[in-house]
Amino acid sequence: MIDRRVTAPQTHDPDDVSSAITGSHAPGRSRDPRVGVAARPHPSRCLEHRAGATVVMYSSDISPRENDMASHSAISPHEAADRLAIRELIDAYAHCADRRDAKGQMALFTSDTRFLVFMDATAAEPTQELHGRVSLAPVFDNLNTYETTTHFNGQSTVSLDGDRATAESYCLAHHLSVDGDGQRSLMIASIRYLDEFVKQDGGWLFAERRLMVDWTETRPSVA
């Protein structure tokens, strides 16, 4: 198995302190209201047709985490290094997905990881739930059904608690398909990842990842 754990960069000068946004956290393994918890069911699901494209939109009643976005203070080099390592872990997942590196992608997770997929982010129960690193192989291999993919990561918020952390990150995932007649179609999924991380042997890994699909759009694609 390839060791894909992302380790925090070494820091030397304790006075080299940068200023950044810091997130609030609860002690132990408790989560904030949005991280690791499915959005509450909502009656609104809109199917819209526009110019040959099909857009599926889901609405959620979860409000932003005020504490994570309002607390600004100086942080230590150690915390800055951990935050950088976690962001690199999130980006490594997208890179491995688009490069079809299933083994590398699996190595980003703990051996007893949990992976949950919510194709409708407002659903109370996941569409798919997997336990253990080995169980992830079929999910990641499924990307081979597409001609190509591009996972474009956006904003993220991270809350640290010693050797554990939680995060919410956004991604626009583009999936290009080509049928037997050469017709191309593009499916775009707006995804939020609700993650739990653990630091093992100096490197950060996914302990749990919840993939929440907020909306999808499918349309013809011209080469």
Which pLDDT score is estimated for 8? 58
Percentage of the chain lying above the pLDDT 70 cut:
68
pLDDT in tens, 77-113: 999 999 999 999 999 999 999 999 999 999 999 999 9
Q: Is the pLDDT of residue 34 over 50?
A: no
Task: Measure the CA–CA gap between 2 and 178, rounded to whole angstroms.
Answer: 31
Contacts of 51 (CB under 8 A, 6+ apart): 219
Which pLDDT score is estimated for 32? 41
Q: What is the pLDDT confidence band of residue 57, given thresholds at 50, 70 and 90?
A: low
pLDDT in tens, 139-197: 899 999 999 999 999 999 999 999 999 999 999 999 999 999 999 999 999 999 999 99
Q: Is the pLDDT of residue 27 over 80?
A: no
Q: Is the pLDDT of residue 17 over 60?
A: no
Domain ranges of the chain: 34-60+78-220
Q: What is the DSSP string of 115-158?
A: EEEESSTT-SS-SEEEESGGGGHHHHHGGGGSSEEEEEEEEEEE
Q: Is the pLDDT of residue 14 over 90?
A: no
Residue with the larger pLDDT of the pair 198 and 71: 198
Task: Measure the CA–CA gap between 33 and 99, rounded to whole angstroms.
Answer: 34
Q: pTM, whole model, 2 decimals?
A: 0.71
Which pLDDT score is estimated for 73? 79
CA distances, 128 to each of 108, 123, 174, 214 (Å): 19, 12, 20, 16
Does 3.10.450.50 match the CATH number of domain 34-60+78-220?
A: yes
Mean pLDDT over each residue of the chain, to the nearest integer? 80
Q: What is the pLDDT confidence band of residue 36, given thresholds at 50, 70 and 90?
A: very low
Task: Measure the CA–CA gap between 91 and 154, rounded to whole angstroms.
Answer: 10
Which pLDDT score is estimated for 6? 62
Q: Is the pLDDT of residue 46 over 60?
A: no
Strand-pairing partners, residue 217, are 55, 188
